[in-house]
Chain A
């Protein structure tokens, strides 16, 4: 059946005007319509936080649960009914602070979940405390003199947990967001999508360098599997390997041609270079990587659970409770 975004829409979002969540929500509706799974075969599960309000604006099944536990709850849901398309939505506080343990283990187990991480580098609903993705020195209500701790970089956590899919988009970039959401759905296994999203009230401008189309043209690189890693307003720059790292080169300078540019391999099992791409753009002269950075096939947990059950069913002789009882040492009193 063909769906439109309207089929997935419900209610009136109550986020602040200009909040990045509005943009993301519209892209999610559009992506789901293009994917074409019935709303009643879709579950959207969030934790607590501004972004975790999202399921209320979906015409699918869903839960807006408790702080940090969305990935764990989504795990039970998916394993119980592998036919459901399960989307897990968390913010940076929900997903990486209180829910950090569930985030890494969902990746390690490779549960077939689409895991959305809306990263605005701030706690919004509690009105402006630093989050685990706020940069060192960040001044907030709970850090009036600046934080004295380093942030998580979500890709590092995902890769460290042996995640097989990582993609990134900017909330205001609808086509870019829809693209990675569809890729996440098509990837079998835990698929982390980091959405760079602005909080207009408590952390305005945190993603300014890439939030506008012009900004992205200058400061971002769209990575695509099998394509050379070229960027710049006039596609004049590229990425090359240098020693253990990457370097930015200008095509046509110092004898560099397009053929010298590194070609993106999202399917490469070894995540070394994918991680380097994912970590670019922290004020280091590199562009921010957008698109599907890693997308590697691996057995999913839910498929493996189902397969193991079928396998054991075929080998064991008992298949109901009465037969189970008979497997014990039994005596008869007459």
Chain B
């Protein structure tokens, strides 16, 4: 045994849990991030699921990963490469090693590196470490066997015992990072409240993993500790972007005093919003899983007419199908939130992967002059605020609103400080005042905002007909009058232009940056991390990140015109850059475009941005 081990202080660390889809890596990763968050570390996580539902066990296509980034201060991304890689079988090592730093510590379960495992993972020799040229520290532990030994007296069958392997790995990682196991114990007892035997078995195995590390000191020189440097007191939970989005809608409906209606159709990666909202019937949420994407949106338009906060959720291919009904909401001027959780395209594309390729579709993909506000959430937790704001905007301005997220933000998670609804702004839909009975027509507008009033069926004396045909501004009757159509087109546009949005904020070296980084939506974390890294290296860099895309913040032109060099970095071929060039005279940015279906890699951003500065 070695002497008392050295504990190294770290500012941040990235741990990647990987194994077969059935190995429980998501749970292990989630628990580790929660344990870390509980002691005040910041967390950012990202699951990497295989596309196949049940790939053959031990196969290369069946590997599932879960990456956790924890930091003493704010962390913006789940991290490019990991400091610790847990590989529960040979296939995981084979596919996930590329995500490990050269200095990373690798933990493997040697029991799953047997001949057949190696064959399934397409190794050609019986020494995978050597075959892959791995020079890292490797903790090679017979995890499966130790789990079985640990649970020998439990009366569990072999299969059930092996389901606890993930907890052994978690215990080992907890030892490596000097984590307190009582938090994990509490979580497991709560999670398996109805199956206390399972909870206790898992807890026993976590301790076994921890003790194994402690007793053997494994093959590492030291363990680590990450102290929290900035403490923001309060209650927290771990939340994914999709769940935060669902919560945002629930919060907005409650604030507005309206029924929440979701019309939806299953589509990756948006389906979790449907799942989440379907659970909350005790809050009166109505979810209708429709016959198609079209009906998802059309039924939401009907729900809006009937007086609900109406939402339809989908991904890019669904937007294609919903466009017609979205347009109906534009011309009828009814509130509606359309959630687009972007994925790789075109067509079916890359259903589980992330892109920002729907921007121009949501801005322009409809017939006629069809202006619609567009918001893009910037992080998993920002999905909550963005969903709330999109709902408020729709209800108060009587318009469909697009809320964009993406697979990365939707599936990623972060520590979420529990919001207090009382702190959020009121939502006041423009219900038609009772005194207008008799004189009211459907397109009578508030003089200042240009917003028409809302008369919900059931109110006596306000019966009216809306529809997809152009209407006379004064009477609300069908009209093909040229002057009236021109007027209505302008009124609909003006109404959107008048929606107030916060100014664009500039972060970093806002007064003297040599390069302004510009992005939108889910790339915020990566762009921010790239800026931080460059500034730490002495560069003068700033970041202006768009959350409000239509209408653009009022100060957009002045911000973008202030810097010598501007780069628009986005996960598409230049859609935001194109939109900004359309809106701002003489704006000619540099562009960084990547369409790989994967989150940006911070080191690649830094390299590209440095190159632009040095030009």
Contact = CB atoms under 8 A, between A and B. Distances in A.
A263 B342 CA distance: 59
A315 B251 CA distance: 21
Contact of B282 (A75, A313, A325): A313
B254 A77 contact: no
A58 interface: yes
Contact of B281 (A43, A308, A320, A325): A308
Contacts of B235: 330-332
A55 B238 contact: no
B418 to A, nearest CB: 5
Contact of B302 (A75, A328, A331): A75
Given A55-B465, A64-B469, A72-B298, A84 B233 contact: no
Interface stretch (A33-41, A166-174, A240-248): A33-41
B465 A56 contact: yes
Contact of B462 (A40, A76, A305): A40
Interface string A84-121: 10000000000000000110110000000000000000
- Quick one: which of A72, A318, A329, A334 has the most chain B CB within 10 A? A72
- Quick one: which of A60, A63, A315 has the most chain B CB within 10 A? A63
Interface in B212-268: 228, 231-239, 247, 250-251, 254, 259, 261, 263
- Quick one: which of A11, A48, A74, A325 has the most chain B CB within 10 A? A325
Given A76-B299, A330-B237, A59 B463 contact: yes
A40 B283 contact: no
A239 B38 CA distance: 78
B281 A309 contact: yes
Contacts of A48: 468
B187 interface: yes
Interface stretch (B126-134, B136-144, B285-293, B549-557): B285-293
Given A76-B261, A309-B284, A333 B40 contact: yes
A230 interface: no
Contacts of A79: 261, 286, 288, 299, 303
Contacts of B198: none
Given A69-B298, A329-B34, A80 B463 contact: no
B284 A329 contact: no
A333 B298 CA distance: 44
B457 A81 contact: yes
A321 B324 CA distance: 33
Contacts of B247: 321, 324-325
Interface residues of A, number: 58
A40 B458 contact: yes
Contacts of B233: 332-334
Contacts of B92: none
Interface stretch (B304-312, B513-521, B606-614): B304-312
A298 interface: no
Given A64-B465, A73-B299, A102 B291 contact: yes
A65 B468 CA distance: 5
A76 B282 contact: no
Nearest to A98: B294
Contact of A76 (B250, B254, B298, B458): B298
A325 B418 contact: yes
Contacts of B250: 321, 324
A16 interface: no
Contact of B300 (A62, A76, A315): A76
A40 B418 contact: no
Contacts of B327: 66
B385 to A, nearest CB: 14
B307 A63 contact: no
A80 B259 contact: yes
Interface in B316-336: 324-325, 327-328, 332
B222 to A, nearest CB: 27
B interface majority secondary structure: mixed
Interface in B572-591: none
- Quick one: which of A38, A55, A80, A330 has the most chain B CB within 10 A? A80
A76 B303 contact: yes
Nearest to A309: B281
Given A56-B465, A64-B465, A80 B308 contact: yes
Given A73-B298, A80-B307, A321 B283 contact: yes
Contacts of A75: 288, 290, 295, 299, 302
B234 A332 contact: yes
Interface in B435-471: 457-469
B301 interface: yes
B190 interface: yes
Contact of A330 (B228, B236, B288, B303): B236
B527 interface: no
Nearest to B243: A328
Contacts of A305: 286, 288
Interface string A18-61: 00000000000000000000111101010010000001101111
B459 A40 contact: yes
Contacts of A39: 463
B236 A77 contact: no
B596 interface: no
B41 to A, nearest CB: 10
A231 B74 CA distance: 83
Nearest to B253: A321
B386 interface: no
Interface string A295-334: 0000000000100110111011011111011001111111
Contact of B463 (A60, A101, A309, A319): A60
A305 B281 CA distance: 9
A72 B295 contact: yes
A234 interface: no
B280 interface: yes
Given A81-B457, A331-B34, A76 B236 contact: no
A316 B468 contact: no
B306 A81 contact: yes
Nearest to B261: A80
Contacts of A102: 291, 294-295, 298
Contacts of B282: 309, 312-313, 315-316, 318-319
A316 B283 CA distance: 9
A322 to B, nearest CB: 7
A49 B418 CA distance: 51
Contact of B458 (A84, A316, A324, A333): A84
B377 to A, nearest CB: 19
B487 interface: no
Given A38-B460, A61-B457, A72 B283 contact: no
A6 to B, nearest CB: 14
Given A83-B458, A329-B187, A76 B283 contact: no
Given A38-B460, A76-B305, 5 more contacts: A40-B463, A62-B466, A64-B467, A72-B291, A319-B283
Interface of A: 11, 38-41, 43, 45, 48, 55-56, 58-66, 69, 72-81, 83-84, 101-102, 104-105, 305, 308-309, 311-313, 315-316, 318-322, 324-325, 328-334
Those 8 A-B pairs whose CB atoms lie nearest each other, nearest first: A76-B302, A76-B299, A64-B467, A316-B282, A76-B303, A77-B302, A72-B298, A72-B295
6 contacts: A72-B302, A75-B299, A76-B288, A76-B300, A321-B283, A330-B418
